[in-house]
Homo-oligomer: A and B are copies of this chain.
Amino acid sequence: MSQKIVIIGGVAAGPKAAARARRVAPDAEITIIEKGGLISYAGCGMPFYLSGEVQNFNLLFETTYGVIRNEEYFWREKGCRVITRTEAKSIDRAKKEVHVENLETGEKYNVPYDKLVLATGASPFVPPIEGLDLKGVFKFNHPDDAQQIKQYLGDMEGGEAVIVGAGLIGLEIADALMKLHMFCTVVELQNQILPGMLDDDMAGVLAKKLTDQGVEFLLNTKVLKLEGDEDGNVTSVVTDNGNIDAELVLVSVGVRPNVELARQADITIGATGAIAVNEYLQTNDPDIYALGDCVETTHLISEKKMFIPMATYANRQGRVVGDNLVGGKTVFRGVLGTAVMHTMGYNIGRTGLSEKQALELGYKIVSAVNHGFDRTHYHPDNGMVLIKLITEEGSGRILGAQALGPGDAVKRIDVVATAISMGANVEQLAEVDLGYAPPFSTPIDLTTHTANIVRNKVAGLAKTMTLAELKEKMDRGDDMVLLDVRTEIQFQMRRLKDDRVKLVVLGDLREKLNEVPRDKEVIVFCALGGRSYEAQRILIGAGFTDVKFLEGGLLAYNYTL
């Protein structure tokens, strides 16, 4: 008799597990139960539909060959039965039955299973504030949300939008709304944008660059309530940092795993609040698997359990569960928390541990921040990338990386993710034979170059200072020389406004050594970091003892110290 597989959840993880199980076991009887009306949709595509970059809503539900992924598709192409608008109300593990309810007819019935899969996903966290039910207030979790926002906006241009939450989704929404010519303010409770993704130094640079694109950020700001007019339309966001006019409010403050069904069935919930699974993605009930946005996973560096809901994990886990449902022993080792995104002309990514996470976990680290071109500077398509590499002191093991810029930051993140995944140290990363041609990279790729900076720091050749350290020293009024070694033209156009700044063009430095005081701390800087490193080596070679250079250069920081 064929095995009965029942999958609860039809968005990404569930269908993927179903399709894989079907390919491996042609005679399994596979049923997907989905509460909503839509299945197997590209949720990550919603911001691009909202912005108009994706014009046809159906594209989010179609295969590459134009067939809508609906119940019929799953039955005819995948041989899986899909039951939509039907909610799994409870699980009877002893009888191996799911009690379901048809949400349209109210009919209740039992679905028997041999193997059960929980792919129940996650739901947007709803902060406890007043006014969320006003017209013009939206969440952004389901294709219906995107359509409702589009409908609400109509032909509105130049309206004021407030986005609550400066996370990845919040900034994707801001990008979409700015493409629709809305004025966007993003309110964030924490002291930085993308708090779950970037260290505060990188986030600070990004926030300045994005502000230049026209978005406003209100950090360290708590939304107290939303106010509306007499017709129930939202008009204003009241924060502990002032009121903001708003015709549209989007609340995007993270998601919570949907675990109630599992909890009621005594499926173990982990300390993260998500369903606990082993490396086979099995719950404490060996006949019940769980995957996707409702489970926790192992971080491959810290080896700690984390809740990191990501579409790519849902899909990759689907393959694992699909195998294991039908007798396989495929393992899902865990994740690096790689995340990439695009907003307002900037490509942004991270992988592995952030510096903050690494320090919290007790690692001693050597990191480097580097700023450069993603391809040769003479190639017309080039763009800048700011990249940060975090390594373990001593072993040199790569712990993480972050990158952002108009250039191809994401390729570098993928390369570092691959290296971390294999346990690479900084020497090994620096030695990777990456592809070079002018339209794609520089002869020494940014990744290699950044690894070399870490090596130079470890070897004692490069002594650096971060922007935060420099800013602290400047604010404290430290007596020091701020040695700008850029060209005369660059200096005239834009420079740090500070009495301690002194210009000595790099090419003149060897013959103007006497102009640099030997009894003071010298902080060298240039546009990107390369010349200031060169200058540091010249000064140290000439007997100067207290010389550091600014990592990432002035261009990384918009000169706003």
Contact = CB atoms under 8 A, between A and B. Distances in A.
Contacts of A79: 510, 538
Interface string A503-514: 000111010000
A314 B444 CA distance: 10
A376 B45 contact: yes
Contact of A507 (B73, B429, B431, B440): B73
Contacts of A413: 435
Nearest to A323: B459
Contact of A65 (B60, B435, B486): B486
A487 B335 contact: no
Contact of A534 (B23, B418, B530): B23
A438 B60 CA distance: 11
A257 interface: no
Contacts of A379: 45, 48, 53-54
A506 B378 contact: no
B66 A487 contact: yes
A79 B530 CA distance: 15
A341 B437 contact: yes
A45 B443 CA distance: 11
Nearest to A456: B23
Interface in A49-82: 53-54, 56, 59-60, 62, 64-67, 72-73, 76-79
A404 interface: no
Interface stretch (A119-127, A420-428, A472-480): A420-428
Contact of A378 (B48, B421, B429, B461): B48
Given A23-B461, A54-B379, A434-B414, A439 B319 contact: no
B65 A487 contact: yes
A457 interface: no
Given A27-B541, A379-B53, A421 B433 contact: yes
A433 B53 contact: no
Contacts of A336: 433
A407 to B, nearest CB: 13
A284 B401 CA distance: 40
Contacts of A424: 418, 422
A410 B440 contact: yes
A418 B436 contact: no
Contact of A338 (B45, B66, B433): B433
A473 B340 CA distance: 45
Nearest to A541: B26
Contacts of A410: 411, 435, 440
A349 interface: yes
A77 B507 contact: yes
Contacts of A448: 316
A300 B542 CA distance: 41
Contacts of A435: 338-340, 349, 351, 410, 413-414, 417
A164 to B, nearest CB: 21
Interface residues of A, number: 104
A540 interface: yes
Contact of A432 (B418, B540, B541): B418
A410 B315 CA distance: 24
Given A316-B448, A436-B312, A443 B506 contact: no
A537 B417 contact: no
Interface in A323-350: 333, 335-342, 347, 349
A257 to B, nearest CB: 19
A250 B314 CA distance: 52
Nearest to A530: B64
Contacts of A72: 507
Contacts of A408: 411
Given A26-B542, A67-B487, A373-B64, A340 B432 contact: no
A65 B440 CA distance: 20
A65 B490 contact: yes
A102 interface: no
B351 A48 contact: no
A528 interface: yes
Nearest to A46: B438
A376 B440 contact: no
26 contacts: A24-B461, A26-B538, A26-B542, A44-B376, A44-B443, A45-B376, A45-B438, A64-B373, A65-B531, A76-B506, A310-B436, A312-B434, A312-B443, A316-B444, A338-B434, A338-B435, A339-B435, A339-B437, A340-B440, A342-B439, A351-B433, A414-B432, A414-B434, A417-B432, A421-B431, A422-B422
List the 7 closest A-B pairs by CB distance, nearest first.
Answer: A26-B541, A340-B435, A422-B422, A76-B507, A312-B436, A59-B378, A336-B433
Given A64-B527, A79-B510, A335-B433, 18 more contacts: A12-B443, A23-B534, A44-B443, A45-B379, A54-B380, A62-B377, A64-B528, A73-B507, A77-B507, A77-B531, A312-B433, A347-B440, A410-B440, A414-B414, A417-B432, A418-B418, A418-B422, A419-B422
